[in-house]
Amino acid sequence: MDIADFEKMMRIMFWGMMYTSLAVLPAMKERRRGRIVNITSIGGKVSVPHLLPYSAAKFAAVGFSEVAIASSMPLLSMNANREPR
């Protein structure tokens, strides 16, 4: 396990999700509605020692989604590792 493993996991599991979410927000704000669903795994809630790069990327994705939920406008809906509303 080296820094390249972390960079690869972050690129795939965090940056891709974050850039996609941020790319659609302006259009959603303009329409005053929308939904973003970020799907992660239990790896974003429970760390597995031998999967450190994977777990770190999943924790980052969950953290981004939870903060986005807390700070998003009321008209937008985001789900992060939650049961459907």
pLDDT in tens, 17-28: 899 988 988 888
User: Would residue 19 show up in a list of annotated catalytic residues for this protein?
Assistant: no
Per the structure block, which two tokens stand in for 10? 């972050």
Measured distance CA(47)–CA(19) in Å, rounded: 24
Measured distance CA(1)–CA(10) in Å, rounded: 14
User: Which of the following is catalytic: 13, 44, 53, 54?
Assistant: 54
With H, G, I as helix, E, B as strand and everything else as coil, classify residue 76: strand
Question: Measuring CA to CA, how many Å separate 33 from each of 66, 69, 74, 84?
Answer: 18, 14, 9, 17
- State yes or no: pLDDT of 79 exceeds 70: no
- pTM above 0.75? no
Measured distance CA(13)–CA(33) in Å, rounded: 25
Q: Which pLDDT does position 77 carry in this prediction?
A: 52
Q: Which domains does the chain have, with CATH numbers?
A: 3-80 (3.40.50.720)
pLDDT digits (tens, 9 = 90+) for 19-75: 998 898 888 888 888 888 888 887 777 888 889 999 999 999 988 888 877 676 554
